[in-house]
Every structure is written in structure tokens, then in C-alpha cells.
Amino acid sequence: MHAETVRIDKWLWAARFFKTRSLATDAVDNGKVRINGERIKPARSVKIGDRLDIDNGADQWEVQVRALSDVRGSAVVAHTLYEESAASIARRQQESERRKLFREPAAAMKGRPTKRDRRQIDKSRG
């Protein structure tokens, strides 16, 4: 945890924003991660004080880098690597509440209906 410079993809993985380093690399390549508002490449070094905008698919984060690490540790250790802005916390909580209140109708469906499901659908239609 005492590195002077760390690649952004390694840092995102170590800070537990992505499950694998390759997912972090893909996100950076696709413009889902920005340092101080600008697009970057996966080999870009991150330094303490940088502001990151991260979209990991499920949530959008706005964080400030507090420490550097290229080793993935526990969630408690990972949380010490960054500080999330108040606006980002409020936005994520609001989005979480919205997801709790509104469930996507297709979310309950897992693939094609079974024969039994099909019969129930036909029966409900009349």
C-alpha cells in the first residue's frame, strides 16, 4: 500500500470498484472512468488527490483518491483508499430507493418460460 504511482486499472480493482482487473481495464477503455473530468487510458497513473468519476454499471461514484494500492485487500482497507463526495452518496442512496420502489417487470423472468409457466400464461389470458 506504499506505492508511489499506481495504474488506474490496478487501483480501481484494489479499491473494489470492479471484481477483476480486466473489468476495470474495459471500463477505462470505454470511457466509464474519468480522472479530473478527462478520459484516460488504463496505464494512466493515479495520484493522491485526483478526483475520479466511476460508472461500474450498477452505480456511479464520484470519489477523491486518499491512498494508493495495487494489492486487493479487504473491503475495510479498500474503503480507506478513497473518499466519496456527499453529492455522490446522496445520488446513490436516492437511486437505491428508486430501485426498491420500482421493480422492472422483466427482472423476475429468467430466460424462456417453462412448459408450466406457458400453461399458466395461456390460462390467465383465457
For residue range 102-116, list pLDDT tens digits in order. 776 666 667 788 898
Flag the least confident range among 16-25, 69-78, 91-100, 101-110. Answer: 101-110
**What is the structure's pLDDT at 96?**
86
**What is the structure's pLDDT at 106?**
61
Cα radius of gyration (the chain): 20
**How far apart (Å, rounded) are the C-alpha atoms in residues 86 and 107?**
30
Average pLDDT for residues 78-95, to the nearest whole number?
91
Cβ density class 30-62: b for 16+ within 10 Å, e for less: eebbbbeeeebebebbbeeebebbbebeeeebb
| Residue of higher predicted confidence among 88 and 103 | 88
**How far apart (Å, rounded) are the C-alpha atoms in residues 9 and 39?**
13
**What is the structure's pLDDT at 3?**
61
- Determine contact, residues 1/11, Cβ cutoff 8 Å: no
Average pLDDT for residues 8-24, to the nearest whole number?
94
Give per-residue pLDDT as tens, 54-81.
998 878 899 999 999 989 999 999 999 9
**How far apart (Å, rounded) are the C-alpha atoms in residues 48 and 28?**
18
Flag the least confident range among 15-19, 46-50, 69-73, 107-111. Answer: 107-111
Domains of the chain: 6-104 (3.10.290.10)
